[in-house]
Amino acid sequence: MNEIARIFETLDYGPAPEGPEQANAWLDAHDRKFGHFIDGKWTRPGKTFSSDNPATGESLAQISMGSEDDVNAAVKAARAAFKGWSALSGYERGKYLYAIARAIQKHARLFAVLETLDNGKPIRESRDIDIPLVARHFYHHAGWAQHLSREFPDAVPYGVCGQIIPWNFPLLMLAWKIAPALAAGNTVILKPAEFTSLTALLFAEICERVGLPKGVVNIVTGEGGTGQAITAHAGIDKIAFTGSTEVGKAIRAVTAGSGKGLSLELGGKSPYIVFEDADIDSAIEGLIDAIWFNQGQVCCAGSRLLVQESIEARFITKLKKRMASLRVGDPLDKSIDIGAMIAPVQVERIKDLMKRGVAEGADIYEPDGQLPSRGCFLKPALVTNVSPANTLVAEEIFGPVLVAMSFRTPEEAVQLANNTKYGLAATIWSENINLALDIAPQIKAGVVWINGTNNFDAAVGFGGYKESGYGREGGREGMSAYLKPAWEKELKAVPVAKAVEPRAGNPLDTGHLDQTAKMYIGGKQARPDSGYSRAVLDPSGKLIGEVGDGNRKDIRNAVEAARAALGWSTTPAHTRAQILYFLAENLDYRRDEFAARLKLQTGEDGTEEVALSVERLFAFAGWADKYDGAVHNPPLRAVAAAMIEPLGVIGIVAPNARPLLGSIALLAPALAMGNPVVLVPSGTSPLSLTDLYQVIETSDVPNGVINIVTGDSVALAKTLAEHDGVDGLWFVGSADASAMVEKASTSNLKQTWTSRGLEFDLSNRRFEGDYFLAKATQVKNVWIPYGA
């Protein structure tokens, strides 16, 4: 049989290699040796390391190892450039971003080939997905630059941003970081991953070519140590990181108390749920993209197949057949499905994980066929016969390994899907739109794809829930991650309050019977676990009452009660609004009594504070059904519904001053957005909050939605910060205690807001709006394709 007849017969692909000549010529033109790009100039290469082609093991170039001095120089350049860059009009900055977008399009093929050489991903992906998305990102953000002052009127850029990115989408992650930062008026120092610096260096040349002002973009190459020098640098105002959850946690700990902005885009173990009524062939094609795109080295890879039991056998049989047709090999070949893994160390890591999974009882299927004789290649693998505790189910593998499990009912699917510390993405396949749209809000993940997968667009925010990090990239949410309120810089340090000394004798002469206020947990008054109480003094040191001295156990009970009340998040916004209005009404009814109690505790007339507290409850009752999402129109036949969802359980440690308003100003936005709360009221003047129990009880607040634990604010804040059942924590207190809270929050990466010892005047009406609403919520983007 001649060759043509054979191809007709077998329908085999012939080789279709993309030529590496131009990329090699570019590398040769640089003598295959690169310095850093700092202050618009190239440094002379110093200590270097090799960047290798993972498909061949050959060295592509020598890259400079960024030292502390290099990072210092880059921060200095970025700082110097910030003034001019942020002072440009949005239109001027937009023109630079547009020029970058155009230049990337013009050099798209060179970028794609270089990316594939350096990273090992199939050229089909770098050419058709990575690079077009990079250009799209710069286009999109050119528009944000121009419209910034209209859309974010009270916001200013952070200043100098340190950005650290991984190796799986080298240029795309660069674009996700640099485009919004520059649009907002920040300057940047970006460190690419050690394995993949080349396209970042080519990008630096693009910056030179479009005449970007020097120092606006600085690229410092290097390893983890270079990243550490960036995260610890006192001259950097914001850190944006994409990478492993482990390093993300380390960065959270290092930046605690520094006042740096922080966004983290971390790992995932995303469920891919297939219901029995799904279009099975489409679901299989989607799954191929979900897990074998970029060799599975994708943070949002659909790595956990959850398939309904009734179709499991048929689905797995079809899947295995399809897996056998996947072509693994030379990434530069245009008809290759699976290219090379990033590096030998990653191949070994994955093999070790698979061995552990097998030792724990897993079965592994890999199709027949030979892998290339050299380079970092792995076959696609399907893991079955696993329990949720199996290492391969629980750990992020970051490789071409799919783990399959089955479920019987939609409820079980949701439980399995959420049974992970991660929450980056999820996919749902069903021909029943009612079912799909019922499941999507129940999945704890930042992105949900319905009947599709791995859709990305610059206009649609991307980012995680839980230990997948916080902050979003793309869209409005992504822009706000690079901006901060202009008024923040005017905040002064809170003057140190003089401790009130108890008066000698301390007779309890308030004219009332001796009374120790209890805690309020799960809708009931509860005695403190310790059995101890704390004295409440007036400003002159006279004992005016006692409250329970809360401890870890009380916090645990309160968190348990709050978690049991998570149904509050699905209570209709209209109902939440009514309850907040009712709270306001009942507080107002007793305003004279509360004002008198405030006078007793603070020595000041409490009338205005009560009135403001009522007004604040009204304000957030008004917001409950208005602070909502958006519908995006990405450039494909789909809409993406940006849904605003509550964080979960929020811990609140309120200020000592303004004891009623301080608590209400934080409680009201958290409640309005659907978060049950554990509140630690003013440590010095908690009586207004313990008086509030009756108001709460008469206002139809469901049990467990508001829990109040009195005691030592800092000690209770630490317990809340360390508690994995708390999803967000707001803390008003000293700079040191704020740093402690941020550091202690790393265990489950809860989102924190701390006052850092600064004077946040919560009576200011600027806190009636989206400042705390944004902190009480997270955005989930649900992609819904259409087309008959």
Active site residues: 265, 299
Nearer to ligand NDP, 166 or 329 (CB): 166
Q: Two tokens at 630? A: 């958006």
Nearer to ligand NDP, 191 or 214 (CB): 191
Span 411-450, contacts to ligand NDP by CB under 6 A: none
Span 183-202, contacts to ligand NDP by CB under 6 A: 191, 193-194
Closest CA to 51 of 32, 71, 26: 32
Nearer to ligand NDP, 156 or 250 (CB): 250
> Is there binding between residue 396 and ligand NDP (CB under 6 A)?
yes
CB closest to ligand NDP, residue no: 227
H or E segment to which residue 175 belongs:
helix 170-184
Nearer to ligand NDP, 193 or 624 (CB): 193
Q: Give the binding range for ligand NDP (CB under 6 A) out of 59-67, 166-174, 308-316, 480-488.
A: 166-174
> Is there binding between residue 62 and ligand NDP (CB under 6 A)?
no
| x/- map, 105-144, ligand NDP, by CB under 6 A | ----------------------------------------
The CA-to-CA distance between both ends of the chain, in Å, stands at: 43
Q: Are 63 and 28 in contact, with CB atoms under 8 Å apart?
A: no
The CA distance from 220 to 188, in Å, is 10
- For 204, 298, 378, the CA distances from 336, given in Å and listed in that order, are 30, 18, 13
Count of residues that interact with ligand NDP, criterion CB under 6 A: 24
Judging by beta carbons within 10 Å of its beta carbon (0-12, 13-18, 19+), is residue 255 exposed, middle or buried? buried
Q: How far is the CB of 223 from ligand NDP (least distance, A)?
A: 4
Residue 723 DSSP label:
-
Nearer to ligand NDP, 467 or 691 (CB): 467
Give the residues across from 470 on adjacent strands: 264
| x/- map, 207-246, ligand NDP, by CB under 6 A | ----------------xx--xx--x----------xxx--
Nearer to ligand NDP, 93 or 177 (CB): 177
The CA distance from 494 to 488, in Å, is 14
Q: Are 142 and 97 in contact, with CB atoms under 8 Å apart?
A: yes
Q: How far is the CB of 366 from ligand NDP (least distance, A)?
A: 20
Q: Give the binding range for ligand NDP (CB under 6 A) out of 15-23, 165-173, 732-740, 750-758.
A: 165-173
Nearer to ligand NDP, 297 or 707 (CB): 297
Q: How far is the CB of 347 from ligand NDP (least distance, A)?
A: 11
Q: How far is the CB of 221 from ligand NDP (least distance, A)?
A: 8
Q: How far is the CB of 245 from ligand NDP (least distance, A)?
A: 8
- For 78, 394, 497, 730, the CA distances from 734, given in Å and listed in that order, are 31, 38, 11, 13
Question: Which of 139, 275, 398, 568 is close enough to bind ligand NDP by CB under 6 A?
Answer: 398
- For 692-776, strand residue ranges (E) read 706-708, 728-731, 751-754
The CA distance from 141 to 95, in Å, is 10
Q: Where are the alpha helices (DSSP H) in 400-520?
A: 410-418, 433-439, 475-480
The CA distance from 384 to 313, in Å, is 11
- In total, the chain counts a number of residues equal to 788
Span 303-342, contacts to ligand NDP by CB under 6 A: none
> Is there binding between residue 267 and ligand NDP (CB under 6 A)?
yes
Nearer to ligand NDP, 243 or 704 (CB): 243
Q: Two tokens at 312? A: 């499991």
Q: How far is the CB of 422 from ligand NDP (least distance, A)?
A: 9
> Is there binding between residue 464 and ligand NDP (CB under 6 A)?
no
Query: Which residues, at least 6 apart from 590, have a Cβ–Cβ distance to it below 8 Å?
Result: 695
Closest CA to 386 of 445, 304, 323, 308: 304
Q: How far is the CB of 244 from ligand NDP (least distance, A)?
A: 3
The owner of tokens 């149904």 is 567
Q: How far is the CB of 190 from ligand NDP (least distance, A)?
A: 10
Provide the pairing of β-strand 187-191 with 59-64. Answer: unpaired
Q: How many CA atoms does the CB half-sphere of 651 hold within 13 Å?
A: 36
Which residues are at the interface with ligand NDP (CB under 6 A)?
A: 164-168, 191, 193-194, 223-224, 227-228, 231, 242-244, 247, 250-251, 266-267, 299, 396, 398
